[in-house]
Amino acid sequence: MTANVLVAYGTTNGSTAEIAETIAEVLRKEGLTAEARPAGSVRDTDPYDAVVVGGGLYGGRWHRDARRFVRRHGEALSRRPLWLFSSGPLDASAGERDIPPVPGVKRTMDRLEARGHVTFGGCLEEGAKGWIARMIVRNGKGGDFRDFGQIETWAAGIGHALTD
């Protein structure tokens, strides 16, 4: 039987969605069935054997849709393999060292016994939603700091864990 994996995500400007799509694509290459979906659109986790949940970081907190998803589906998530990821730093730090989860995500990891967490670099570019995001970009602090090689390696590790 092939494991069916959900990659649920919370995003505002789409860069976390691109990370989630990349994770799902790698899992499919590993022989799994995987789909990436906005966390707010997932009504039921029963069809899935494992779940990956990710959220963009805003003001030191996971995206609202990711937070709501893990609250709404917490009991079901605690009964299946679960991994978490965050997307956020607007600099190269996520590629240089392991960045621990923010406190709210750490509590979720502990409560749901997640198998792992990683923080990937974020992306904030021209046209971003929200006045704070636009100010960050206008002040030259934006950019794309996602490392897709790192993302693919992490996702392949999940694939191996589910197929071994």
Q: For residue 28, how far is the Cα from the chain centroid?
A: 17
Q: What CATH number did the domain enclosing 31 receive?
A: 3.40.50.360
**Number of structural domains found in the chain:** 1
The pLDDT > 90 percentage for the chain reads 75
Which of 128, 19, 18, 9 is CA-nearest to residue 68? Answer: 9
β-strand partners of 58? 61
Q: Hey, is 15 helix, strand or coil?
A: helix
Residue 121 in tokens: 């670099």
Which of 112, 127, 100, 132 is CA-nearest to residue 53? Answer: 112
Average pLDDT, the chain: 92
pLDDT reading at 1 higher than 60: no
111: domain range? 4-163
Note the pLDDT tens digit of each residue in 5-49: 999 999 988 999 999 999 999 999 999 999 999 999 999 999 999
